[in-house]
């Protein structure tokens, strides 16, 4: 089949194996560098079905990031049957997420660990990173 003029803007089968074996597959993934012509956007959507520690060590990024936690029931996205623990800042300020939430992680803000403490029903986790590819800077970087 001949290449179309605008077909390059459509990413088919945008799935990728996640970084965590506890996340059921497939995760939806968009890498701005590879899939978006260098766009400053990286997106991952994962289904969370069991407790586990997703981010083990504190780290930071050079660009803003948004962590979005949503209920997994498409008929009632406020049905959030989970408890998530997230630490923010150099002082590791503890936050509990037990309802749908968006966490803005400004560039340079240390964050992590992130742990799914309780999962009663599947939830959706959306990680949006405002850069063409995901880059993590460890605490010592």
CA 47 to CA 54: how far, in whole Å?
A: 12
Q: What is the pTM of this model?
A: 0.87
**Per-residue model confidence as pLDDT tens digits over 63-97:** 999 999 999 999 998 999 999 999 999 999 999 99
Q: In a 10 Å sphere around its CB, with 0-12 CB exposed, 13-18 middle and 19+ buried, how is residue 13 labelled? A: exposed
- How far from 129 is each of 5, 53, 60, 78, 83, CA to CA, in Å? 28, 20, 12, 24, 23
Residues 6+ apart with CB under 8 A from 60: 107, 108, 109, 110, 111, 136, 137, 139, 141
Following CA atoms 120, 78, 65, 44 in sequence, which dihedral angle do they give, to the nearest 10 degrees?
Answer: 60
Residue 140 has pLDDT above 80, yes or no: no
Q: What is the mean pLDDT of residues 5-22?
A: 79
Domains of the chain, residue spans: 24-135
**Per-residue model confidence as pLDDT tens digits over 91-123:** 999 999 999 999 999 999 999 999 999 999 999
Longest CA–CA separation in the chain, Å: 57
Architecture of domain 24-135: Sandwich (2.60)
The three-state (H, E, C) secondary structure of 59-72, written as one string: EECCCCEEEEEEEC
């Amino acid at each position: 089949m001949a290449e179309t003029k605008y077909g390059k803007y459509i990413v088919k089968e945008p799935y990728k194996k996640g970084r965590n074996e506890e996340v059921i597959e497939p995760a939806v993934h968009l890498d701005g560098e590879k899939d978006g012509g260098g766009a400053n956007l990286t997106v991952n959507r994962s289904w969370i079905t069991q407790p586990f520690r997703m981010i083990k060590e504190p780290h930071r990024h050079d660009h803003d990031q948004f962590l979005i936690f949503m209920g997994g029931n498409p008929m009632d996205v406020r049905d959030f049957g989970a408890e998530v623990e997230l630490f923010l800042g150099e002082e590791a300020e503890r936050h509990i997420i037990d309802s749908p939430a968006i966490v803005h992680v400004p560039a340079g803000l240390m964050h992590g660990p992130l742990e799914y403490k309780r999962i009663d029903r599947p939830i959706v986790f959306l990680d949006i990173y405002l850069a063409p590819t995901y880059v993590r800077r460890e605490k010592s970087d």
